[in-house]
Structure 1
């Protein structure tokens, strides 16, 4: 009886937890990277919602508050934070469209899913670059 139980245990695959050192070597597919970035961008948008609402309030409350808004957003650090938020929004939006298409069973094959994940990353970064160039006055 004991021998048969040991034989069954040996045939089963062994799953081990991945350690931090192994995470560096682990190659996640593009779809997995987009999924993780989608979650991160959504969390960042949610957590920074008070900052976004503060900026919106300062921009529309009055002429004096708009001048205060312009002075505040003129700071390079605030511009970089806003650019990060813009990337979060654009990536989250593009990845959300990708997931809606996947829900409609469009692009579910492995090669198509890989291609759409890369397209989402490229479009999100390209749109962010265009907005960043405009924000920093280079375009």
Structure 2
């Protein structure tokens, strides 16, 4: 009998949360996970936040004024900031996936760079529009 046949095979067990926190994911994997998170966020926010806000804003001038006052609160601005990040990330990652579908940047290094670029651009857009939202100018 050969030596390789007598070696015990490695066992793979379920991972715990502490194991998952120690993994170092590449930028493309982080962009992919955040793309799913941002898509779920936007999907859930549509009927719960965006449609009611829009419906109230077009009802009458009085309800628009009430909605505008409510939207100027810091808590609402934080919610809107998170939704802006979700939109920007989902949009940028969607463009990345369209280019990958066209077989542009499928190699390992360009894919990692584009994943990091998506995350960086989405955060930069969120900061710029967040500053505008909070009245920096």
- State the 1:122 CA deviation: 0.8
Cα distance in 2 between the residues matched to 1:87 and 1:9: 50
Q: Deviations over 1:48-101 (max 9, x none)?
A: 112111111122222111101111101100000011001001100000000010
Partner residue of 1:66 out of 64, 67, 74: 64
Tell me what 2:87 maps to.
Answer: 89
Question: TM-score, structure 2 length as denominator?
Answer: 0.90
Q: Structure 1 unaligned segments of length 5 or more: list them.
A: none
Q: How does 1:1-139 map to 2 (within 5 A)?
A: 7=5, 10=8, 13-50=10-47, 51-139=49-137
Tell me the alpha carbon deviations over residues 16-57 of structure 1, each in whole angstroms, 9 at most, x when there is no partner. Answer: 332211112111111111111010111111111121111111
> Scaled by the length of structure 1, what TM-score is found?
0.89
Give the CA RMSD over aligned residues: 1.9
Matched pairs, number: 135
**13-22 or 55-64, larger mean C-alpha shift:** 13-22
Q: Which has the higher contact order (CA 8 A, sep 6+)?
A: 2
